Structures are given as structure tokens and as C-alpha cells.
Structure 1
Amino acid sequence: MNYENIGVTQDNGIATITINRPKKLNALNRDTIQELRDAFEALDSDENTKVIVLTGSGEKAFVAGADISEFADFSVKDGGKLAAKGQELLFDFVQNLGTPVIAAVNGFALGGGLELAMAAHFRIASDNAKMGLPEVSLGVIPGYGGTQRLPQLVGKGKAMEMIMTAGMIGAEEAHQCGLVNHVTTQEELLPLAYKLASKIMRNSLVAISGAIKAVNANYEAGVNGYEIEISEFGNCFGTEDFKEGTTAFLEKRKAEFPGK
């Protein structure tokens, strides 16, 4: 599939999605959001894709935010539709994807950019990364899940401070508060992402998909995460991966998971 605003490459089970709008600091517009959805959906259905790495082109930005020019004149109704459609189309979709997603944050991850990174299953960052939700400085609030996911990751108090001050934090502070898992140089950012992806791929991707569902269930209103865990745990016993994993353990050899 050909894309105008993103690039997609695949190598040995690892797919890399690169948001490529350097003149706009990779800002998210409607077309980019749709292309990202299409790419994630296609890769998730491709049995050759085991892990997805998401990053931005260039050295300045992962995603510097949403394209404000697209919604500056929106009405109340239009604004609500924008947030609802965006969350359903991309941000919630990424969070609930069965294929593991690693966000490799290079440079600025602001507004919708940070919200996209937070929708990934976990994040790593280059040491020049700057992250924040500056929406209140524009008279609006985060609308792509930022008010929900940021407190889950860094705690209510830190999230309130970041949102209300509209300030940015650097990579080390993001690491300290749990927003990112690792910090490295910009040159080593993607190699680290691929190293982590390779570690993930050694394990049962069927089991990992179930674990993603169980972990996410803890943050869904009205859903008992323990019950989802029990269900997903039970489902594992009917998979070929479980049979291979337990057999390999008992035979004292490395498991070769079929992914089924």
C-alpha cells in the first residue's frame, strides 16, 4: 500500500511505521491519522508482522501535535466529533492492537503526538525528546485520550501539573516518572527498539496478545480485569503455543512458537 504521510518497512518480523511530514514536524492531520489506522490494521492482520515500531522522521520531532489549522474554526459539535472519531479510529485502536507496539520517541512529542505515543504499549525515547500536552495554552484540552492515559502512566498529580502548566518535560524526567521505559541517544533509539522487539519475538505472541487484553481491561470502566485475565489465561491452554512452550520447557530446549 502506498502512503503519502507515512512510511512502512518490514524486516525479520519487525515493522516500522515512520510518520513523515517533516515540514510540519510530523503533525497529525486527518489524512495522516487515516493512513496510520490503515497501516496498523494491515500490519496487525499480517502473520509475518510480530512487532510494530512507531517513530517520526527526522531529528526534530516524533509528532509535534495535531494540525491546528484543520480545526481552528470548529463548532462545539464539530470538536466533539473530532475527538470521538480520532479516539476510535486510531488511538484506542492502537492501544487494543494484538500486535505489540513500541513508540520510539525522537524529539518533540506534544499534544496528539504524546497521546499517540501513550496509546502504544510502551515507549522509549531519545535523550533530546521533549514531551507535553500543551492544549490548555490554546484554550482546549487533550482530546485524543491524554487526560486518561497520562494519569495512568505518571499518576494524577504529575499529570495534572503537566496538563495545567502546558509545559514540556525532558526525556530523563519522563523516564523518572514512568512515561518512558528507556532513554538513549538518538543514534541508538531505533536499534534499542529493534533489540526490545527481538526479545518480545522470542516469546509466544498469542500469549502476549492475551496479556495486552488483560492489562488494558484494568483501565476500562465497568470491566473486571481479573475476570479478563482468567479468561485469557484459560484460552492459552487451547493454543499450539502453550503446547510447544510447556513441551520445550520439560524437554529443556528453546521453544519454537508457531504463533497459533
Structure 2
Amino acid sequence: MTDYAEITYRVADRIATITLNRPQARNGYTVRMSDELADAFGRADADEDVRVVVLTGEGKDFSVGADLSQGGFDFDQNGPDTAWQEPAGRVSKRVFQLNKPVIAAIKGAAIGGGITITLSADYRLAATDSRFGFVFVRRGIYPEGASAWFLPRLVGMGRAMDWMVSGRVFDAQEAHSAGLVHSLHEPDKVLDAAYELAADLAANTAPVSVAVTRQLLYRMSGMDSPLPVHEVDSKLIASIMSNPDAAEGVLSFLQKRPPKFTLSPNNDLPEFLPWVKG
């Protein structure tokens, strides 16, 4: 899938920009948008020229959530026990699995699926006019996008319970204070801030180190003990003697020059990592 109807995709300066592109519907979330987003994230993950992904929305809003005006979701007719996957989770799961950092640049409304698809991103930068809401209980439905797993890890169980059980809409300052978003910017500056952060990550971090680190945090920070994490840490640190990126990181620091890392997440992830399939 290379031609998209409800998103746009472009690559420049090692940054892939994925844009929700239904401004006439305030970027209302559809099944087609979901599938296009999942495809675009996979495309960015596979592209050796892409170091960072920026996710944003065209128009005044990031996304007002599910747009059911076009007939609803593609529910499996065989019932709730089938393998059907709800649309927001198709995207949040793909971002979770990514080997590259993702920065969400949010302005205006980010409601329902419009916020849950960003929870697995590495950064959420928001405009001062942003509004957020996990409004599911006010519609008689349920949280999606695996948000009941992601949200408490970002803001704590108490705040997650408040936002999800009340379903209330809250402003950018509350989101920032709670840690849902990393920084606030004027509406016309939020995308610039995302690109500035993306450029720094692309220029100064090692792709394989980033891929391993984000998955260490996601997959191992919830372990019952630090012992299995330390076992993986020990193997990783022992491997740096044969790691050209580690040598380059030290040399570039000593020589006071930008690093030129050569390892690729698509080809050079350590095979001993528990989540890497050999």
C-alpha cells in the first residue's frame, strides 16, 4: 500500500512524517485510516533512510476519535471470540513494535482513538490549545488501543482511573502536569518542535541502541524482579566489545564530531534479546 486516501506519508532528512488527512472531518478515525497508518508505520520501520517518525494531523485538530458516519467498523460477524482486532489497537500495537522512535505532534482535539493511538509513541508534544479525553464511558463503550495498559504506565493508576472512569475532557496543562505530554507549544510551533527533537535524535543517537532501549523499557520494565533485566543488560554490555557503534560513539565524543553510526535495526539487533526472533 503506497497510495493513501486518509493519511499522507513523506520522508525528508531521515524523518518520516505521517499525517492524518481528513481535516474536513476533524481527522475522524476510520478503519481505512487505521489500516493506512499501520501500513505507513511498517513502511517507515523497514526504510533504512528513516531514523525517526513524526505523527501529526492536518487542520486544526489531531483527531476527534472514531468517525462512524461511514458505516462503522469492520466488525467480525462471527462474534466476540474471533481474532478480530479493533482499529486503534492495530496502530498502537504497530507503534509499540517499532524499532524507531515516534513523536506525536498534537494540536486541537485528541479524543478517544485520537489519543489512544499516540500512547505507544515515545514522545507526545502538544499545543497549548489541545484537549484530551478518554470519553468511552460517556458513549457506553470501552477503552481501546490497549490504552488500559499504556495509560497507567504514563500517568499512574490514579490519574488513569480518573480520566477513564469519568470520561471527562481535560486541557493541555492538565495533560502536561500529569506526564501524558512531554512539552507544550503554541499551536503554530508544535510541529516545528517535533521536527527539532526528531533532528536531534536522528543526528546524535545510534539506531540499534534506540531500538533496544525502547523495547527494554516497554517489555521489561514491568517484570516482577530486576534480575531477568540484569541478565539481558549483562549480555548487551558484554557485546559492546564487538560493536562498531560503541566504538564510534566513544571516538566521536573524544574527537568532538557528530557520530556516524552504521548498525541497522533491520539487520543488527542482538539475537539473544528475548523479543528478537532468530
| TM-score, L = length of structure 1 | 0.89
The answer on whether the counterparts of 1:244 and 1:256 sit within 8 Å (CA) in structure 2 is: yes
Please report how far the alpha carbon of residue 90 of structure 1 lies from its aligned counterpart in structure 2 after TM superposition: 2.0
> In terms of mean alpha carbon deviation, does 210-219 or 154-163 score higher?
210-219
> In terms of mean alpha carbon deviation, does 67-76 or 117-126 score higher?
67-76
The answer on whether the counterparts of 2:76 and 2:82 sit within 8 Å (CA) in structure 1 is: no
| Correspondence 1:125 to 2:126 | yes
Which sections of structure 1, spanning at least 5 residues, go unmatched? none
Q: Distance in 1 between matches of 2:12 and 2:212?
A: 24
The answer on whether the counterparts of 2:248 and 2:259 sit within 8 Å (CA) in structure 1 is: yes
SS in 1 for 2:50: coil
Q: Following superposition of structure 1 onto structure 2, how do residues 179-218 of structure 1 map, counting pairs within 5 Å?
A: 179-201=180-202, 202-218=204-220
Taking a change above 3 Å as real, the CA distance of residues 73 and 117 of structure 1, as seen in their structure-2 partners, is closer
CA offsets per residue over residues 86-138 of structure 1, 9 Å max, x none? Answer: 53x32111022111100011111111111111121111001111111000111
The answer on whether the counterparts of 1:83 and 1:143 sit within 8 Å (CA) in structure 2 is: no
Q: Distance in 2 between matches of 1:134 and 1:209?
A: 32
SS in 2 for 1:67: coil
The answer on whether the counterparts of 1:95 and 1:121 sit within 8 Å (CA) in structure 2 is: no
Please report how far the alpha carbon of residue 77 of structure 1 lies from its aligned counterpart in structure 2 after TM superposition: 2.8
Please report how far the alpha carbon of residue 220 of structure 1 lies from its aligned counterpart in structure 2 after TM superposition: 5.5
Residue-pair matches, total: 258
Which sections of structure 2, spanning at least 5 residues, go unmatched? 265-278
Taking a change above 3 Å as real, the CA distance of residues 227 and 216 of structure 1, as seen in their structure-2 partners, is farther
Taking a change above 3 Å as real, the CA distance of residues 22 and 211 of structure 1, as seen in their structure-2 partners, is same
Q: Following superposition of structure 1 onto structure 2, how do residues 152-171 of structure 1 map, counting pairs within 5 Å?
A: 152-171=153-172
The answer on whether the counterparts of 1:100 and 1:121 sit within 8 Å (CA) in structure 2 is: yes
Q: Distance in 2 between matches of 1:19 and 1:225?
A: 37
| TM-score, L = length of structure 2 | 0.84
CA offsets per residue over residues 172-222 of structure 1, 9 Å max, x none? Answer: 111100000010011101110011011111221221111111111135678
Partner of 2:149: 148
The answer on whether the counterparts of 2:134 and 2:143 sit within 8 Å (CA) in structure 1 is: yes
Partner of 1:66: 66
Taking a change above 3 Å as real, the CA distance of residues 19 and 252 of structure 1, as seen in their structure-2 partners, is closer
Partner of 2:7: 6
Please report how far the alpha carbon of residue 251 of structure 1 lies from its aligned counterpart in structure 2 after TM superposition: 3.9
The answer on whether the counterparts of 1:127 and 1:171 sit within 8 Å (CA) in structure 2 is: yes
Q: Percent identity?
A: 31
The answer on whether the counterparts of 1:96 and 1:216 sit within 8 Å (CA) in structure 2 is: no
CA RMSD of aligned residues (A): 2.5
The answer on whether the counterparts of 1:103 and 1:124 sit within 8 Å (CA) in structure 2 is: yes
Partner of 2:269: none
Q: Which residue of 246, 253, 258 maps to 2:250?
A: 246
SS in 1 for 2:119: helix
Q: Following superposition of structure 1 onto structure 2, how do residues 40-79 of structure 1 map, counting pairs within 5 Å?
A: 40-59=41-60, 61-68=61-68, 69-71=71-73, 77-78=79-80
Q: Distance in 1 between matches of 2:153 and 2:187?
A: 27
Taking a change above 3 Å as real, the CA distance of residues 153 and 125 of structure 1, as seen in their structure-2 partners, is same
SS in 1 for 2:62: strand
Letter in 2 for 1:180: V
Taking a change above 3 Å as real, the CA distance of residues 30 and 240 of structure 1, as seen in their structure-2 partners, is same
Q: Distance in 1 between matches of 2:51 and 2:179?
A: 25
Partner of 2:114: 113
SS in 2 for 1:197: helix
| Correspondence 1:94 to 2:95 | yes
Taking a change above 3 Å as real, the CA distance of residues 222 and 83 of structure 1, as seen in their structure-2 partners, is farther
Taking a change above 3 Å as real, the CA distance of residues 2 and 126 of structure 1, as seen in their structure-2 partners, is same
Taking a change above 3 Å as real, the CA distance of residues 112 and 220 of structure 1, as seen in their structure-2 partners, is farther
SS in 2 for 1:102: strand
